[in-house]
Amino acid sequence: MDLAIELKDVTVDYARGKRALDGLSLSVKKGTIFGFLGPNGAGKSTTVKAILGLLRPSSGSVRLNGLPADDPRSRRDVGYLPEEAHYYRFLTPLELLDFYGRVFGLSRVERRRRSEAVLDLVGLAAVAKRPIRTFSKGMAQKIGLAQALLNEPRTLVLDEPTSGLDPLARLELRALLLKLRSEGRTVFFSSHELSEVELLCDTAAILKDGKLLQQGTVAELEGGRGEESLERHFVRLVGGRPS
């Protein structure tokens, strides 16, 4: 099986004995959209960080695009959008993208071409030369999306990508993700938004207290125990009370 992301028995212990992930195993097939669900504090962001090599698991292994996650080459074909947008505020979007383009080793011409293309794609071309410190939260989130797409990645890792976006921007993002899948790219995104997962994802997983509760196609998750919606199934699985 051709996997973009693979976690095997990953455990992450933080200081003071807090266990963030507990023997988590996941696999994401190439060319699919994978939804990663869980309540607050379930360990979704920790999983994303482990996938990107931003933290070292206490045990287990993580592979990204066939390489160990701590190997920088595994991130050459990856785009990452964090939950909260934090970028160098003294730069303009064009300068920021130029900086990241340099880190990717792109030529000057290629950096310019791709920066303009992604800024146009996310609707920030008109403010490309304005300092980021003057941007609203939604605009900063769009810069995040632009930098995640800069290297034309085969795999996108998105942490709560719709947070901070208005309804129109959400629709645009949804269309973009479907377009990326049609181009054969892989999208892994963590979310609270069950409707997004239902609409977009081929497969999904539900996490609680650092443990995987269930993984399968969205249809399997919805129909696994009778004909209930993903929302009801999720609420029942993580121990909440359905409305």
Partner 1 sequence: MNAVFAVARLLVLEIFRKKDAYVAFLLMAVILVYAAGMDFYDERNVVRYLLELGLSLVFFFSVILTAALGARQVPAEREARTLPVLLAKPIRRSEFVAGKFLGTFLAGAAAFTLFYGFFLGVASFKGGVFSAATAGETYLAFLLNLWVLAAVASGLSYFLTSSAGLTLTVLVYFLMNTYGPALKAKAGPFLYFTLPHFEFFDLRQRLVHGWGGLPGDVWAALAAYAFLYALVPLSLGAWRFARENA
Under the rule (CB under 8 A), what is the footprint of partner 1?
Answer: 49, 52-56, 72-73, 75-76, 78, 80, 82, 84, 86-91, 95, 99-100, 102-105, 144, 147, 157
* Alpha helices (runs of H) in 35-166, residue ranges in sequence order: 44-51, 93-103, 108-121, 137-149
Tokens 């979310």 locate to: 191
**Shorter beta-carbon distance to partner 1: residue 56 or 113:** 56
**Shorter beta-carbon distance to partner 1: residue 150 or 221:** 150
Closest distance of CB 85 from partner 1, Å: 9
| Region at 39 (left for phi over 0; alpha for psi -120 to 50; beta for the rest) | beta
**Shorter beta-carbon distance to partner 1: residue 31 or 144:** 144
**Shorter beta-carbon distance to partner 1: residue 95 or 231:** 95
Give the neighbor-by-neighbor strand order of the sheet with 155-159: 78-81, 155-159, 186-191, 33-37, 203-208, 211-217
Closest distance of CB 101 from partner 1, Å: 8
In a 3-state reduction of DSSP, which class is residue 230? helix
Closest distance of CB 239 from partner 1, Å: 28
Closest distance of CB 72 from partner 1, Å: 4
Length of the chain: 243
